[in-house]
Structure 1
Amino acid sequence: MTVQTDRSSIPARDRILDAAEDLICTGGIAGFTLDAVALAAGLSKGGLLYHFSSKDSLISGLQHRMALRLEQTLRDAERQREPILEAFIRELRQDYETGGRRFAPLLLAREQQNPCYELQALMTCLVQRSGQGGKEATLLLLASLGMVLTSLARLPCIDPQQAAELFDEMLATRAKHP
């Protein structure tokens, strides 16, 4: 027996953002239209526009939610005294292994009129707060992000086993040189 959730119990704003993430992952940027997002969220286009006044506003909403999720990951890591770069790489790995949904908004960054400053600040802060070895930390951050973006772009670079080994190696490298 499968349990179905009542979509109407989920706030419309969250349904819109969830639908947008799903569409980006399944249809790419070409399938990411306001009409398609509204349909997938179970709303009229007017209902979508009530929450997000434009496509740019929706992209900003997606990236804002992504930044909030990442901030929470970093706060959790600090609370558990876990190195934050390792926590971030683990988050990227988990997302990579489940289809990259949480980081899908990164694909839309070039579609925005203005960059998501929260996300930029978070990435800068991540490298700065990850301790010594700024170049190495930056390299590991960019490598792990690159793997997720490669997956989202459907570039058949590596198989899942190779990806797992690369994530393991990134974490091991960071553990050797904190």
Structure 2
Amino acid sequence: MPNPPGRSSSREKLLDAAAALIATHGVQELTLEGVAAAAGVTKAGLIYHFKTKDDLLGALVERMSLELDQRSRTKAAQRGATTSARLMALVDDTFDMSPGEKRLQANLLAAATSYPHLLGPVQQLFDRTYGELSDAGPDAGLALVVAAALDGISLLELLNLHQFSPQQHAAMRQALQQLAQRFD
């Protein structure tokens, strides 16, 4: 995942390095020494910010959850902050995810079997999103179905259970956008 602009702190550089290593090699190959080397800091410099691999992974999952939420909310706000806008932003996030972000999420998802306690920020993100969509009025059920369909598409691909073709992506995206527009 490329470094977003404005990130210059050692802590952020360490998280960026960890994300890049996880996306490439998976969590099982992640070491504090490797992260420190990739970030250009000493192991002591890394330990100042993250005492353990668990601390580092927890901070990375939290940052990733916050970034996904913020990106989606920003897109929705640009469209008017309606239920339709929120759903359209989720559609975009699902179908426009970069390959690097997909690899990182897939590897972190795989790590959840060994580190299930790290899923708290992700569960909170889902709780918040589905909670807000539950308040979508008489069509709340439809809003929830659209969001669940998007999460299902993502999980099928992240878990490598099925890879949809570009044509299938386009057809699903169009159908989900049409459903999302019903909230206008």
Q: Pick from 15, 18, 27: which aligns with 1:17?
A: 15
Does the CA-based 8 Å contact 1:38-1:44 persist in structure 2?
yes
Residue in 2 aligned with 1:73? Answer: 71
5+ residue gaps, structure 2: none
Match of 1:91 in 2: 93
Q: How many residues align?
A: 171
Residue 126 of structure 1 and its aligned partner are, at CA, apart by 0.8
Q: 1:107 to 1:165 in 2, by over 3 A?
A: farther
Q: Residues 147 and 26 of structure 1: is their aligned pair in 2 closer, same or farther, counting only changes over 3 Å?
A: farther
Percent identical pairs in the alignment equals 30
Root mean square deviation, CA, Å: 3.1
- Establish whether residue 129 from structure 1 lines up as the match of residue 132 from structure 2: yes
Q: How far did residue 12 of structure 1 move?
A: 1.7
Residues 1-178 of structure 1: pairs in structure 2 closer than 5 A = 10-76=8-74, 77-78=76-77, 80-82=79-81, 83-96=85-98, 99-100=101-102, 103=105, 105-112=108-115, 114-130=117-133, 131-132=136-137, 133-154=139-160, 157-176=163-182
Confirm or deny: 8 A CA contact 1:29 1:108 kept in the other structure. Answer: yes
TM-score, normalised to structure 2, is 0.71
Of the structure 1 ranges 95-104 and 17-26, higher mean CA displacement relative to structure 2 is found in: 95-104
Alpha-carbon contact 1:96-1:147 (below 8 Å) kept: no
Q: Secondary structure at the match of 2:64?
A: helix
Q: CA deviation at 1:154?
A: 4.8
Cα distance in 2 for residues equivalent to 1:145 and 1:96: 16
User: In the aligned structure 1, how far is the partner of 2:25 from the partner of 2:66?
Assistant: 25
Q: Distance in 1 between matches of 2:24 and 2:58?
A: 20
TM-score scaled by structure 1? 0.73
Instruction: Give 5+ residue unaligned stretches, structure 1.
Output: none
Conservation of the 8 A alpha-carbon contact between 1:89 and 1:144: yes
C-alpha deviation, 1:30, in angstroms: 3.0
